[in-house]
A and B are shown apart, each in its own frame.
Chain A
Amino acid sequence: YLLLGRWRKKHLTFRILNLPSTLPSHIAREALLQAFRYWSEVAPLTFQEVQAGRADIRLSFHGRQSLYCSNAFDGPGRVLAHADIPELGSVHFDEDELWTEGTYRGVNLRIIAAHELGHALGLGHSRYTKALMAPVYAGYRPYFRLHPDDVAGIQALYGKKIPETTDEEEEETELPTEPGPMPNPCSGELDAVMLGPRGKTYAFRGDYVWTVTDAGLGPLFRVSALWEGLPGNLDAAVYSPRTQRIHFFKGDKVWRYINFKMAPGFPKKLNRIEPNLDAALFWPLNQKVFLFKGSGYWQWDELALTDFSRYPKPIKGLFTGVPDQPSAAVSWRDGHVYFFKGGEYWRLNRQLRVEKGYPKSVAQDWMHCHPQTPEPTLPGEGTTRSVTGTSLATTASAVDTDAVSDRTPSAAD
């Protein structure tokens, strides 16, 4: 790494002056906020957004002509962005680029923003071509992380991130919205899996959610960044193509969303079924939602008054071979039902019986964590099936349709 200078303070304000036209504003904003988080997660830096007035770091998009920047851009390709070194604080992006998120098309806004913020914080270009601070854009990386050289550089300027104090007084003043650590999709247990609107597969763990596609994983977002008002560490999530409703469960509460908008009156308290569910899924064959806890399940008809007095019923009575206390479940677009627990998953056949050869590895088959295999694998299909050319954005925006959507089981299925 190369050091160009440093700020004499560690709490910096920033202001987003405009956004690109190629992305929905909430996606673009989240990409920029995540770019700040990459640095604040490894160095004792805090960033605060301001909506007006002078900010330390100012992010904006301009093109070939700019009244306030003498360094004009050059149209699509070539120079993508530039930034000033400390303590100037300008970060400029070429508005003629196709700024994208969650797809290999165009230029990834989050990664370029993180690079330019590196300059704004005092880092020069790195000689490691795989480092974020390398001068040439290496393309979209779904599971992006800082390179050790990037971390070493920023820590050389500002020191290492001090672990959170456990002092009681400090705990009381801690912001409740402070996110948990960013999970590694290649290890650990999922909180929930959901086949969401338009066939997008969402994986939830802790405070984060990401999409799973045939081609790889989408970037990790805070749950509340996509579904405003929703907490992390969910118990279960289920989307119903029958009603287009998404239900999230946590503790004794349920949240209902249509796409990314919370339904009025929610969250509500769970009254007629037990709290702390393990998993949930929508079964297209009977158009019902199944809720799981321990060794039991509830079957819920969203559009009729369900008599829950006969529930919970034993999971094994309907889903043969499934483990108790699954961490997640989903009825997927291939028509199979899947259960998840620990780092493993089980696939059920049409008779709802676990198929031979299961459980298998979630990391390998769902999360594309298979370093020896250049082609990503699909759940339950070994390594032979090829990528289907999906370009899945991370949220259900109105602009992206893809091959996955065509294969999504609908209510008509």
Chain B
Amino acid sequence: RALGPAEEAAVDYLLQYGYLQKPLEGPQVFRPEDIAEALRAFQEASELPVSGQLDDAVRARMRQPRCGLEDPFNQKTLK
């Protein structure tokens, strides 16, 4: 389904900071489960409740000022 503006902004954030990986080939379309996994990694790294959902806490965290470098956090590094 089409993403709303808030969801698009969240996906942009996850892409910009390395939680979601751009596919090397093909269209840049992410499956809902890919986004949910990236959100889970972001929540875990940010010490937020892990739900895989784009909730208020995630949105608030994404609005905070930060460094421009990517984060190394994904399910593998968190593990």
Interface residue ranges, A against B (CB under 8 Å)? 2, 71, 73, 77-83, 97, 107, 112, 115-116, 119, 124-125, 127, 129, 135-137
Contact = CB atoms under 8 A, between A and B. Distances in A.
A134 to B, nearest CB: 9
B28 interface: no
B68 A79 contact: yes
Contacts of B69: 82-83, 119, 124-125, 135
Nearest to A138: B64
Interface residues of B, number: 18
A78 B63 CA distance: 7
Contacts of A2: 72, 77
A97 B72 CA distance: 25
A308 to B, nearest CB: 57
Contacts of A129: 46-47
A81 B68 CA distance: 6
B73 A136 contact: no
Interface of B: 17, 45-47, 61, 63-73, 77-78
A282 B68 CA distance: 49
Contacts of B65: 77-80, 97, 107, 136-137
Q: Is the interface of B mostly helix, strand, loop or mixed?
A: loop
A129 to B, nearest CB: 6
A127 B74 CA distance: 11
B14 to A, nearest CB: 13
A135 B45 CA distance: 10
Contact of B68 (A82, A124, A127): A82
B67 A116 contact: yes
A79 B77 CA distance: 24
A135 B47 contact: no
A17 B47 CA distance: 37
A244 B17 CA distance: 52
B67 A81 contact: yes
B73 A115 contact: no
20 contacts: A2-B72, A2-B77, A79-B65, A79-B67, A81-B68, A82-B67, A107-B65, A112-B67, A116-B67, A124-B72, A125-B70, A127-B45, A127-B73, A129-B47, A135-B67, A136-B46, A136-B61, A136-B65, A136-B66, A137-B66
B66 A78 contact: yes
Given A107-B65, A136-B65, A136-B67, 7 more contacts: A80-B65, A97-B65, A112-B67, A119-B67, A129-B47, A135-B66, A137-B65
Contacts of B68: 71, 73, 79-82
Contacts of A135: 17, 66-67, 69, 71
B67 A125 contact: yes
B31 to A, nearest CB: 25
Determine which residue in B65, B71, B77 has the highest number of CB atoms from chain A within 10 A of its CB, and name it. B65
Contacts of B47: 129
Contact of B67 (A77, A80, A127): A80
Contacts of A71: 68
